[in-house]
């Protein structure tokens, strides 16, 4: 199967947009990601999928911890910055939960210890055991067919 056709099909699955953050001796590292999934309630586990070429891979392996911040529709510039698509003019300030950096004003942030690591094809899955979370009000930034968007609620009208 053609790679472009596979990517085109997978892009039809609408997602939110997150920034994954971690902290190592050299400092904080962040990257934009939409491959996030909540996987278990008891125990509370989530997973992320990191390209084996991303700098984030070795950072998470070194720290053994990461945070996932769900971006709001007011944070397009943050997403583009951490995807390397466009640099922000001002320095990025981080908040911290249990000494792990998170993106301020994100809709929610989930802070994890790495529980299990699986290299799967050209990506690595980091299953995280949730240590703490924070939640804020707002509307999500979305990603569909390679483009950013906003959430639109539909009203069900009964005939």
Q: Which positions touch ligand FAD (CB under 6 A)? A: 17, 27-35, 49-51, 54-56, 81-84, 92, 143
Contact 102, 94 (CB under 8 A): yes
What is the nearest approach in angstroms of ligand FAD to the Cβ of residue 5? 19
Q: What is the C-alpha to C-alpha distance for residues 109 and 97, in angstroms, rounded to an integer? A: 9
What is the nearest approach in angstroms of ligand FAD to the Cβ of residue 80? 7
Choose between 34 and 69: whose C-beta lies nearer to ligand FAD.
34
Choose between 84 and 157: whose C-beta lies nearer to ligand FAD.
84
What is the nearest approach in angstroms of ligand FAD to the Cβ of residue 56? 4
Choose between 40 and 55: whose C-beta lies nearer to ligand FAD.
55
Q: What is the C-alpha to C-alpha distance for residues 117 and 126, in angstroms, rounded to an integer? A: 5
Contact 102, 95 (CB under 8 A): yes
Q: Three-state SS for 132?
A: strand
What is the nearest approach in angstroms of ligand FAD to the Cβ of residue 69? 13
What is the nearest approach in angstroms of ligand FAD to the Cβ of residue 6? 15
Sign for the pseudo-dihedral over CA of 132, 138, 140, 141: negative
Closest residue to ligand FAD using C-beta atoms: 35
Backbone phi, then psi, for 73, in 5-degree steps?
-70, 0
Choose between 147 and 158: whose C-beta lies nearer to ligand FAD.
147
Contact 112, 65 (CB under 8 A): yes
Choose between 70 and 82: whose C-beta lies nearer to ligand FAD.
82
Contacts of 133 (CB under 8 A, 6+ apart): 108, 109, 110, 111
């Amino acid at each position: 199967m053609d790679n472009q056709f596979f990517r085109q099909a997978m892009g039809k699955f609408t997602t939110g947009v997150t920034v994954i953050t971690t902290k190592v001796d050299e400092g904080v590292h962040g990257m934009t990601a939409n491959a996030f999934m909540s996987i278990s309630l008891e125990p509370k586990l989530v997973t992320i999928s990191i390209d084996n070429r991303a700098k984030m891979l070795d950072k998470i392996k070194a720290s053994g911890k990461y945070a996932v911040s769900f971006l709001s529709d007011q944070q397009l510039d943050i997403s583009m910055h951490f995807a390397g698509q466009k640099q922000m003019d001002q320095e990025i300030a981080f908040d911290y939960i249990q000494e792990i950096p998170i993106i301020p004003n994100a809709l929610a942030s989930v802070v994890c210890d790495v529980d299990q690591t699986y290299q799967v094809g050209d990506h690595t899955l980091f299953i995280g055991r949730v240590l703490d979370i924070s939640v804020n009000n707002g509307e999500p930034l979305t990603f569909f067919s390679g483009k950013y968007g906003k959430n639109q609620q539909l009203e069900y009208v009964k005939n």
